[in-house]
Each structure stands twice: as C-alpha cells, then as structure tokens.
Amino acid sequence: MKIAKEIVIRELKEWAQSIAVALVLTLIIRTYVIQAFKIPSGSMRPTLIEGDKLFVNKYLYRFEPPKRGDIIVFRYPKDLKKDFIKRLVAFEGETVEIRDGKIYVDGKKLDSPETFGKFYYYNHDPYGNPDEKIKVPQGAFFVLGDNSANSQDSRFWGFVPKKNMVGKAIFRWWPLNKLGTLK
C-alpha cells in the first residue's frame, strides 16, 4: 500500500512539473515570439476577412526593420488595451497623400507591393484630406486598412508610435481553405 502511494505521489509530481514547464514555455512564446490573433472586423477586406485567425511574429522587428506593405498588429493609440491590424504605409519623416484613390509617399505613387495599386483609398478628415500632405512624425508610422471605405486607421486617429508595434502578421491558420503565409 505504501509503495503504491509513493508511486502515485511521484507520478503526480512528474505531471505537475511537466504542466508547469509547458505553461512557462507557453507564456514565454506568447509574450515574446508568436501570438494568435482573430480578425474582428472587415477593415482589411479582402485580404483578411472577419473570423480569420493568424499568427503574428512578435520578435521579427527586433532583428529587421518593418517594410512598407507589411500587415502589422499594434496597440491602438487611443486605447492601448486594444490591438489593431492594418497595412504599414509610411515611416517617420515621410509625407503621405491620398489622391484619386491612390497613395503617394514623398510624391511617388505606391504600386509596390501590388496591394497598394489594386485598392481604392478614400480621403478622410483629419489626416487624409484631399490634396493634403501629411508628414509622419519621428518615432511613428502611418497605417491604412485595405478596405479603405470601412477602416478606422491613421486617416481618422493619426499615427502609430513605434513603441505600440506588436508584430508582423505572417500566417493565416483559419479557415483551413485559406491556410498559408500572408503577403
């Protein structure tokens, strides 16, 4: 009886240790490496649809700078408890203009990546008036949703501070028929 009790106790300790290690690893990975996100709105249609689930790489930008056109997740500047997802358009010091449905950065029309050339972008107050050039301040980004008509983005609330960056959306894992890397 005593031997059986010792075996059970030893087995429970092993299970508890394994579970504790798994929890610690999960917390570390989720905090610093990769995190799952669910798309809550249609602001990135047709690229991302409500209910799509993605993985966001949280460490990539520690080793390489973000690129124009990256789909990024960031803490919403007006409420840091909310995460938003948008496409990165312009960097600090650059000038953005939305004219005739196209985006211009420092006077050059964006066609690359091709996403910028295939969507129509609408102007909006206060950071996207027609014929207005907006300079991105130091330490910030200008972001837009692909579904410009239905996206709360930098045109509405301004710029994303670099410190609010969470990471780059890299992989859609749901729905299964759209499984794959994001471009």
Residue with tokens 């004219």: 99
- Short-list 126, 157, 119, 129, CA closest to 141: 157
Question: Residues 89, 105: contact at Cβ < 8 Å?
Answer: yes
Retrieve residue 101's tokens.
């449905």
Q: How far apart are CA 103 and CA 8, in angstroms?
A: 66
Residues designated as active site: 43, 86
Question: Residues 144, 121: contact at Cβ < 8 Å?
Answer: yes
Neighbours of 162 (CB within 10 A): 15
CB-based contacts of 115, cutoff 8 Å, min separation 6: 47, 69, 87, 146
The dihedral formed by the CA atoms of 82, 85, 91 and 94, expressed in degrees to the nearest 10: -100
